[in-house]
Amino acid sequence: ARRAQLNLLFNVIVDQALDPSLATTDLTIGLKYRIIDDNPILGSFALLPAIKLPTASLRSGTGTTDYSLLLISSREIGPVAMDHNLGATRRTGDGTHASRTAGIWTASFGFPLSGPLGATVELFGFRRTTGPAGSKGIAALLIGPTFLVREWLALDAGGIVPLTGPQPDPELLR
């Protein structure tokens, strides 16, 4: 819609060491709603409330229902799309497997390469959390290609380069 965007997020894991070797992660449903356009300070500003449901087919999820709110500031500088995000998540559960409260920040830059092919560079981090499943804060760099199928449908992939803090351990997914 003109000011709203439906977001559905889940991941597919393929790993021969897992049983089954093909699995899905939790499902997140969100609705991004743009409330300001072309503000001199915030650019286009949107809110993205979301809910994550414990639908993972493996132990790849937290087993919690998560409620989150992401603040999004977007603007274009020539051909470069720039986004700054700040968000918080509150989870159900007792904090044993995932901290009850978490936060994220991002600064991302997307740009065209050739025709529908583009690229994204994003610096992101998670704040320190507390409790039984608490962890130190982290920062990382994500780089990857994008492909614009239609004006309303973009596909992307990416690789992450750790910068600071403990990074997720793939062994925890097994």
**pLDDT 10s digits, 102-124:** 999 999 999 999 999 999 999 99
> pTM for the whole thing?
0.79
Nearest to 20 by CA among 57, 62, 63, 55: 57
Instruction: Give the model's pLDDT for residue 10.
Output: 87
Q: Classify the C-alpha dihedral 40-79-119-121 as positive or negative.
A: negative
CA distance 72 to 124: 14
Q: Is the pLDDT of residue 169 over 80?
A: no
The residues, ordered by sequence, that sit 6+ positions from 40 with a Cβ below 8 Å of its Cβ are: none
Instruction: Give the model's pLDDT for residue 174.
Output: 39
Q: Is the pLDDT of residue 96 over 90?
A: no
